[in-house]
Amino acid sequence: MDKFKRLGRQMARLIMQHKLPTMVISVIVVSIVLVGISMHLYYSSDAFRVDLSRPDYVPYRAQIDNSNNHNRDMFEAQGEVTGKVLDDFLQKYKQEEKKADGARAFASDVLSDDQLGVNGSGNGAGGTTTQGQDGSSE
C-alpha cells in the first residue's frame, strides 16, 4: 500500500511540474476517445447511408434501417481466400464496374441522386426538386 501512495505522490508531483504537456496529452486522449465513440455510433446506426444534413431527408430519418441485412452483399475484408470468395468478389466487382462505365462523367447531372446511387428503396431520395439560381424549380 505504501508503494501505491508513493507512486501516487510522484505522479502528482510530475503532473504539477509539467502542467501544459499533461493538459495537451489529456485533451488529445479525450478527443480520440470521443471521436471513436461517435464514429461507432454513426456507423452502427446506419446514418452514414443517408446524408441526414439535407433538408429533403428530414421525413425519412425515422426510416433508417438499423439491421445488418444490408451488409450481406458487401465483400468481407477479413477471412479465408478461396476460389468461391474470389469468384464472388469478381462478380461484385464486375457489377460495380458496369455501373461506373455507365456513368456519364461529363453530364450536368453527374452528382445527381440517380448517378450516385442513392435513389434506392427506403432511403427517401425520390421525387426531390432543386431550385436554380433564378429560383425556378428544376
- Complete DSSP assignment for the chain: -HHHHHHHHHHHHHHHHTHHHHHHHHHHHHHHHHHHHHHHHHHHTTGGGS-TTSGGGGGGGGG---SSGGGGGSPPSSS---HHHHHHHHHHHHHHHHHHHHS-TTSTTTTSHHHHT---TTS--TT---B-TTS-B-
pLDDT in tens, 25-77: 999 999 999 999 999 988 888 776 666 666 777 777 677 665 655 555 666 66
> What's this model's pTM, rounded to 2 decimal places?
0.36
